[in-house]
Amino acid sequence: MLKHTTKIRVRYGETDQMGIVNNAVYPSYFEVGRTEMFREIGLPYSKIEKEGIMLPLSELHIKYHRPAVYDNEITIETYVDEYPTSRIRFKYNIYNELGELLVSGETVLAFMNADSRRPTRIPQYLKSIIEPFFQ
């Protein structure tokens, strides 16, 4: 299983007049979690794209448990617990400073050949980096 945590501070522009994070912001937090996870294992999105692979979002699911508020530091826990084939499913939990679960969710991204814009299986170079996490 791949697992990573990222901490960020809620910015003013992400909140409403009451200081609560707008629910449309959470997909951006998910993106921060997954891009930082990939960067940590040596797979920044820029490298994946240079190799001719794109990862379009095909599914997004969010469950709101509690609100995040302005200036709180939140922890984005990102993990992949299924070995990817033609798509990769990321799961997320976002916690506040007290460790309370704020949001849970998941996204599914498809592997797509950048030239043909057709779905493809996980490329070998990605497989070789990801595989050890699933043994």
Identify any residues that bridge with 64 across adjacent strands, giving them in sequence order: 103
With cut-offs at 50, 70 and 90, classify the pLDDT of residue 4: very high
pLDDT tens-digit map of 61-119: 999 999 999 999 999 999 999 999 999 999 999 999 999 999 999 999 999 999 999 99
Residue 31 burial (10 A CB sphere; 0-12, 13-18, 19+): middle
Q: Three-state SS for 28?
A: helix
Tell me the pLDDT tens digit for each residue of 25-48.
999 999 999 999 999 999 999 999
Buried-exposed string 91-118: b where 16+ CB fall within 10 A, e elsewhere? bbbbbbeeeeebbebbbebbbbeeeeee
Every domain of the chain and the residues it spans: 2-134
pLDDT at 126: 92
pLDDT of residue 82: 96
pLDDT confidence of residue 117 = 96
- Domain 2-134 maps to which CATH number in 3.30.465.10, 3.90.1720.10, 3.10.129.10, 3.40.630.10? 3.10.129.10
